[in-house]
Amino acid sequence: MSALSQNLMDRWIALAGIEAEQIGAGVVGRYGEPHRRYHTGTHLAVMLAAIDELAAAAADIDAVRYAAFFHDAIYAVERADNEERSADLGRDILESLDAAPELVEEVVRLVVLTRGHRPQPGDANGAVLCDADLVVLGGTPEEYAAYTTAIRAEYAHVPDDLFRAGRASVLRNLADQPRLFRTELAHDRYEAIARANLAAELAALTAAIG
């Protein structure tokens, strides 16, 4: 087992208990599927680390951490329902572990929320989860370039013109939000950098489309 996988398993066991180790191995293993280039175990580890930093802003940090493990558990680039299917998987697994119904429902809600990253005001758990999922937008130019390269590799089967149009639409939906990051810590740390990265990528995509 790689150091990354072991780290993720340690995080899972700390959350779900040693009796859930085998189930956790199945969840973690999904992030190593060969078609993934960005939505990998590295992304999950970065997200969990960000959740640690933002934990004080959450109302139920265990629900947020479970949601992180499940949010990309099912990832098929040709489908539009990955979040819903991942949420269903999370529900099935948590119910098999006899998790409290309110925890199950909150995790399901949070996983689906990562589709659009638009938590409502007052949604503390949603804010932490979505902010953690978007920290990649606030990386250095080199980190952001690596991210966009990995995303393009996941969609290598899509022709350039279709990919550019689809990617531009996704970025505009993000950029049109009044705030990308809802927690104060993430907003202060990443907002300006993320908007600059989004603007630069959108400019490049628009020029290529034009």
Domains of the chain with CATH codes: 3-209 (1.10.1300.10)
Across 93-121, average pLDDT: 97
Res. 64 pLDDT band, cuts 50 70 90:
very high
Res. 29 pLDDT band, cuts 50 70 90:
very high
Three-state DSSP class for residue 145: helix
Average pLDDT of the chain is 96
Q: What percent of the chain has pLDDT over 70?
A: 100
Task: Tell whether the model's pLDDT for residue 179 goes beyond 70.
Answer: yes
| 181 alpha carbon, distance to own chain's centre | 13
Check residue 210 and give its pLDDT: 65
Check residue 88 and give its pLDDT: 98
Query: How far is residue 91's CA from residue 17's CA, in Å, rounded to a whole number?
Result: 17
Check residue 42 and give its pLDDT: 97
Instruction: Residue 136: name the closest of 79, 181, 88, 202 by CA.
Output: 181
Check residue 1 and give its pLDDT: 78
Check residue 209 and give its pLDDT: 74
3-state secondary structure the chain: CCHHHHHHHHHHHHHHCHHHHHHHHHHHHHCCCCCCCCCCHHHHHHHHHHHHHHHHHCCCHHHHHHHHHHHCCCCCCCCCCHHHHHHHHHHHHHHHCCCCHHHHHHHHHHHHHCCCCCCCCCCHHHHHHHHHHHHHHHCCHHHHHHHHHHHHHHCCCCCHHHHHHHHHHHHHHHHCCCCCCCCHHHHHHHHHHHHHHHHHHHHHHHHHHC
Across 129-147, average pLDDT: 97
Task: Tell whether the model's pLDDT for residue 41 goes beyond 80.
Answer: yes
Single pTM value for the model: 0.96
